[in-house]
Amino acid sequence: MRRELPLAIAFIAGVIFFIAYFIPHPPFNRFENWFSDWFAIVAAFAIWLGALNLMKISFIKVIRKKSDWLHALLIIISFVIIVVIGFYEGYRGLHANPPFSFRDPGTAFDWLYVNVYSTLSATMFALLAFFVASASYRAFRARNLEATLLLLAAFFVMLGRVPIGDVITGWLPRAYQMSQWASWIMNVLNTAGQRAIMIGIALGLVSTSLRIILGLERSYIGGD
C-alpha cells in the first residue's frame, strides 16, 4: 500500500485535472481551486516540519559544538527574536485601541522587516551585479564562431539597453543606433530562442507529467 496509494492518488488527481481543464461545467470548474486550497493547507502545515527540522539540526550543532555551530546559534537567535516579537506585537495589537496588526508600520516587527530583512534581501540581490561582471569576464571568450556571435550579441544588448549605446552611435541614422540593434536582438532573436526553448520545455513537461500520472515515473516516492 505504501507504493500503491501515492500512485493511485497521482493517477486520480492527474486524470481529474486533465478532464477539468476541458469541462467548464460544475463541479469540474471548481476542482482546480479545491486542489490548490488543499495543497496550500498541506504546504502550510509542512512548513512546521521544515522549521522544526532546522531548529533540531541547529540545536544539535550548538550543543555538540560541531563545525559552524556559531552560524547555527545565529539561526536559533534570529528565529527566536522574530517569533517572540511577532507574537508580542500581535498580542499588543489585539488589545490596543484601535487594534492593529503585528505587521503594521510602527511595530517592532515592521522595523525588523524594513531594516533587517528587506536590506539583507536587497544586498543578496545586489550581488548579482558583481557576479554578472565576473561571469561575463570569464565566460564571454571568442573561442569559436558561436561564442563570438554570443559575445557580439552581449556587446550590443549591454550597451544598447542603456543610453550610452546611443551616445556612442549617435552619428548613425536612428534605425542603426545601438538601442535599435539591442531592441531587434531582444524582439526577434531572443524571442525566437525563448519560444523554441519554451516549446521544448512544454513538451518535456507533458511527457514527464504523463509518466507520473501513469505511474511510470516513481522517483518521488523513492523509486521502485
Partner 1 sequence: MKYNSVVTARFAAGWGCLLLFLLVSLFSMPVLAQEEPVTVDTESLLVVPDSLPLEYYPLPPSNVRMKDVPNDAGGSLLIEWDLSLDDYEGGKVKEYRILRGEAAEGPFEELGSTARGTASFTDNQAKRGIKLFYKIAALNYEKTNGEFLWKASSESDVAGPAVSTAQWFNLSRLNIFIGIIILCGAIIYFITAAKRGKSFYIRKIAGIEEVENAVGRATEMGRSIYYIPGISDMDDVQTLASLTILGHVSAIAAENDTRIDVPVSKSMVMVTAREVVKEAYSKVGRPDSFQEDQVRYITDDQFGYAAAVDGLFVREKPATIFLIGAFFAESLIVAETGNSIGAIQISGTAMPAQLPFFITACDYTLIGEELFAASAYLSREPKLLGSLKGQDLGKAVFLLAILIGVILESFGVPVHELFSVR
Partner 2 sequence: MRARELIVSGLIILFFLACYFFSPKPMEFSRSTSVLIIFLLAAAFVYVFIRTFRGRFIGRRVVFIFVGVALVLPFFMKFPLPLQISPEVQSVYDALEKLPPHSKILASFDYDPPSAPELQPMAVAFMKYAFEHDLKIIIMGLWPQGPQQADQAIQAAFIENPDLKQKTKYGVDYVNLGFQSGYEFVILQMGQSFKSMFPADLYNTPYDSIPLLKNVSNFSNVDFSMNFSAGKPGTAEWVQIAVDRFQLPLAAGNTAVQAPMIYPYLKKGSKGKKQLIGLLGGMAGGAEFEKLTKKPAKATTYLLSQSFAHVAVVIFIIIGNVAFFREKKGKK
Among 115, 170, 176, 199, binds partner 2 (CB under 8 A): 170
* For residue 24, cis peptide bond before it (omega within 30 degrees of 0): no
Q: Does 1 bind partner 1 (CB under 8 A)?
A: no
**What's the rounded Cα separation, in Å, for the pair 189 and 149?**
12
Instruction: Give Dmax (Cα) for the chain.
Output: 74
Dig out the grid coordinates for 47 from the structure.
512548513
* Residues present in the chain in total: 224
Q: Does 116 bind partner 1 (CB under 8 A)?
A: no
Give the interface segment with partner 1, choosing from 25-33, 81-89, 92-100, 162-170 (CB under 8 A).
25-33
Task: Please choose which of partner 1, partner 2, none residue 116 contacts, taking the beta carbon within 5 to 8 angstroms, the exact cut-off set by kind.
Answer: none
Classify residue 59 as exposed, middle or buried by CB count within 10 Å of its CB (0-12, 13-18, 19+): middle
Q: Does 198 bind partner 1 (CB under 8 A)?
A: yes
Q: Does 171 bind partner 1 (CB under 8 A)?
A: no
**What's the rounded Cα separation, in Å, for the pair 104 and 144?**
57
SS3 content of the chain, % helix, strand, coil (to 5): 80, 0, 20
Among 53, 136, 207, 208, binds partner 2 (CB under 8 A): 136
Binding letters toward partner 1, positions 31-70, x by CB under 8 A: --------x--xx--xxxxxx-xx--x--x------xx--
Sign of the dihedral defined by the CA atoms of residues 43, 49, 52, 57, in that order: negative
Integer-rounded Cα radius of gyration of the chain: 27
Q: Does 134 bind partner 2 (CB under 8 A)?
A: yes
Among 4, 21, 41, 174, binds partner 1 (CB under 8 A): 21
Closer by beta carbon to partner 2, 58 or else 169: 169
Interface ranges with partner 2 (CB under 8 A):
32-33, 36, 40, 103, 105, 117-118, 121-122, 124-126, 129-130, 132-134, 136-138, 140-143, 151, 154-155, 158-159, 161-164, 166-167, 170, 177, 179, 183, 186-187, 190-191, 194-195
